[in-house]
Every structure is written in C-alpha cells, then in structure tokens.
C-alpha cells in the first residue's frame, strides 16, 4: 500500500504524442526538486494520434505515471475534471501537454504556496501564441468578466497549483459544465498569481482549437456560468418599450397639432419585423438556458473513462 503523494501533476492530452516523453521527463525533473513522493496523471482525451500508445509505454516504465483514456473525446476541461477526480496528492498541479506551460515553473508555484496560499495561478505575460488567438482571448475574457461580474485575466489558463481543500471544493460544485478559471473564483480560498515564462509549441502542430471551437466554448461558458444575458434582455425590452412610447406620443402630437403626413405601412412593417426579431432572439436565449437545465437534470457523467493504467496500484492507506 502506498501513502498519499505530496504532489499530483495532471495533464490533459490530445494530439501531442511527440511531446509526451519530454513532458514527463521535465515534470519529473522539476517535481523531484520538491519531493520524491509524487504522481503524474495523463488523461488522454481520445485523440486521433498514437498518444495513448505512448502513454502506455511511459506508464510501463514508471509506476508513478498514471494513464487514463476517455471512452471518446469530451474536451479539455472534462479531461482536467477527470484528472482532478483521480488525483490524490495534497497539492495538485494542472498544466497543458503542449509544453507551452513550462514544467520547470512547478517548483516556483509550490514555493509561492508556502506564503500561505491555497491557489497559485500561473500568469503568462509573454504569451507565445499567434495574434488572432491572443486577440480572441482578450475579447472573450473581457466579455466574460462583464457577463459574470467577476474579474477574468486573459493571461491565466490551466497552469495552476491547488491545495487538496480547493480540489474538494471544486468537486463539490457538481456542475455539469466545467471551466476552472471561472470556478476557482467562486470557491474562494487564498489565491495568488505568479508571472511565468510561456514557451512556443515546438512539435510543428497547431492548436486543435479552431476559431469555431473557441467560439462555441466561449458561448457555452458564458451561458453556463452567467444569467446576465437574460437580465440584459429585460433591459432591452424596457428600452424598446420606452422608444415605442416616445414614437407613439410623437405620432399622436404630429397628427393633431401639425399638418405633417405620417406614413403608416412602412413604419408598421419595419417595427413588426424588428420586434419579431427581438422576440425570437429572447425566446432563443431562454431556450438555450432551458436546454442547459435539461442537460443538468439528466445527471449524466461529464466524462467516461475507457481505460486506466497504474491507477489501481496506487492504493492509499
């Protein structure tokens, strides 16, 4: 039987078979400066390359590396969710597999936590991403900050260090849709950010997140974590009502006190189409929220594990 590890390192894997060996090696070199009592959890999100085969080879050579494969592709945040559910360390590190998050920074995050912080977030001030990705990220986080009434930093992503208490609090939320950069602000705890160096991706592959995927993810996050769009529709309705009232008074005054002719068919036609568009938009937004409620009440698992390697051997006393 094995004791509870001090550190668990969780990394979701998708389309990064050429980076896995270096990823694990660099994680080991970094974590060994802190402790020899650690585990590395690689969650393979059913990608199209041979990442799972590489993970099997790595796991067979080191029992401290745990491999988990989803039954199908569920998405990065759900791979993180799976990794956090299986992590057993007192401290849990999450980082992407593309090595843009430098594993060598783990020791710096851990040292920062010694100042009394339960959460340490890595801030990527010098992001090595393309212009469009950085622009989209900034716009998204500004919109998300506005709609959720919280401060969202575009320099923060998945590279973080959490205490076990934080992870248990995140798990207790039981949200069907998960997005950890937003959820950690809700659970509270003492939080700090640490500026780190951000590297470019060196395996020649582009990110699997296309603009369409990023847009869909952003839309899903906003709907899942904020009801402000519904409140904005109420304000829009009141605004339209005020405009309609002002126009109605104007037309009445014009009819009785001036000789100006007020044409009817064009204004009626345009106003009907305008109001119909607003109504359909509001109904569609309500329908989206109802759909989210439907997904939640079904209580389906947010991910399904297909295979595990080395996990059953890590029994905790």
pLDDT tens readout for residues 210-234: 556 666 666 676 666 666 777 777 7
- Strand 91-94 vs strand 156-163: parallel, antiparallel, or unpaired? antiparallel
CA dist list (Å): 201 to 11, 109, 121, 215, 293: 16, 21, 21, 22, 38
- Strand 191-196 vs strand 38-44: parallel, antiparallel, or unpaired? unpaired
Residue 65, SS3 per DSSP: strand
Place of tokens 């009801």: 227
Name the maximum alpha-carbon separation found in the chain. Answer: 95
Q: Rounded mean pLDDT of the chain? A: 78
Cα–Cα dist 101/51, whole Å: 19
Cα–Cα dist 75/272, whole Å: 42
Of 108-112, 217-221, 235-239, the range with the highest mean pLDDT is: 108-112
Examine the pLDDT at 147 and tell me if it is beyond 90: no
Q: pLDDT for 45-87, tens place per residue?
A: 888 888 899 999 999 988 899 999 998 888 888 888 888 989 9
Q: pLDDT for 27-48, tens place per residue?
A: 999 998 888 889 999 999 888 8
Cα–Cα dist 44/70, whole Å: 6
- Strand 65-70 vs strand 7-13: parallel, antiparallel, or unpaired? unpaired
Examine the pLDDT at 205 and tell me if it is beyond 90: no
Cα–Cα dist 239/233, whole Å: 10
User: How buried is residue 226: exposed, middle or buried, by Cβ count under 10 Å (0-12/13-18/19+)?
Assistant: middle
pLDDT at 98: 84
* Helix or strand holding residue 265 (H, E): helix 265-297
For residues 256-270, average pLDDT: 62
Domain ranges for the chain, please list them. Answer: 7-127+151-210+301-309, 228-297
pTM here is 0.72
Tokens (6 digits) for 290: 């109802």
Examine the pLDDT at 317 and tell me if it is beyond 60: no
- CATH 3.40.50.620 applies to domain 7-127+151-210+301-309: no
pLDDT at 182: 74
For residues 254-259, average pLDDT: 68
Share of the chain above pLDDT 90, in %: 10
pLDDT at 163: 92
User: How buried is residue 85: exposed, middle or buried, by Cβ count under 10 Å (0-12/13-18/19+)?
Assistant: middle
Q: What angle do CA 147, 153, 156 make, to 5 degrees?
A: 130
Place of tokens 């009394």: 116
pLDDT at 155: 64
Tokens (6 digits) for 236: 């829009």
Q: In what order do the strands lie in the sheet with 91-94?
A: 191-196, 119-124, 156-163, 91-94, 7-13, 38-44, 65-70, 305-309
> pLDDT higher for 50 or 312?
50
């Amino acid at each position: 039987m094995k004791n509870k590890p001090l550190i668990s390192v969780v990394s979701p894997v998708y389309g990064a078979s050429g980076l896995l060996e270096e990823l694990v090696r660099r994680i080991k070199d970094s974590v060994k400066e802190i402790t020899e009592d650690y585990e590395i959890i690689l969650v393979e999100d059913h990608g199209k390359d041979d990442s799972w085969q590489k993970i099997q080879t790595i796991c067979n050579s080191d029992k401290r590396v745990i491999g988990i494969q989803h039954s199908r592709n569920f998405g990065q945040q759900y791979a993180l969710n799976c990794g956090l559910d299986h992590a057993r360390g007192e401290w849990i590190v999450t980082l992407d597999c593309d090595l843009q998050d430098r594993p060598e920074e783990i020791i710096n995050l851990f040292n920062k936590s010694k100042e009394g912080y339960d959460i340490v977030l890595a801030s990527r001030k010098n992001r090595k991403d393309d212009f469009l990705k950085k622009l989209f990220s900034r716009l998204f986080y500004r919109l998300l900050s506005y709609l959720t009434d919280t401060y969202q930093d575009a320099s923060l992503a998945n590279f973080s260090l959490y205490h076990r208490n934080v992870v248990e609090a995140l798990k207790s939320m039981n949200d069907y849709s998960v997005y950890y950069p937003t959820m950690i602000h809700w659970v509270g705890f003492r939080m700090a950010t640490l500026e780190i160096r951000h590297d470019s991706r060196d395996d020649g592959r582009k990110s699997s997140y296309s603009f369409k995927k990023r847009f869909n993810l952003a839309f899903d996050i906003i709907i899942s974590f904020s009801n402000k769009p519904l409140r904005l529709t109420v304000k829009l309705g009141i605004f339209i009502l005020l405009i309609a009232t002002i126009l109605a008074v104007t037309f009445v005054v014009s009819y009785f006190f001036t000789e100006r002719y007020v044409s009817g068919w064009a204004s009626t036609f345009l106003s009907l189409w305008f109001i119909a568009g607003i109504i359909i938009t509001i109904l569609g937004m309500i329908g989206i929220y109802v759909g989210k409620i439907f997904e939640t009440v079904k209580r389906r698992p947010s991910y399904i594990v297909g295979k595990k390697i080395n996990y059953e051997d890590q029994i905790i006393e």
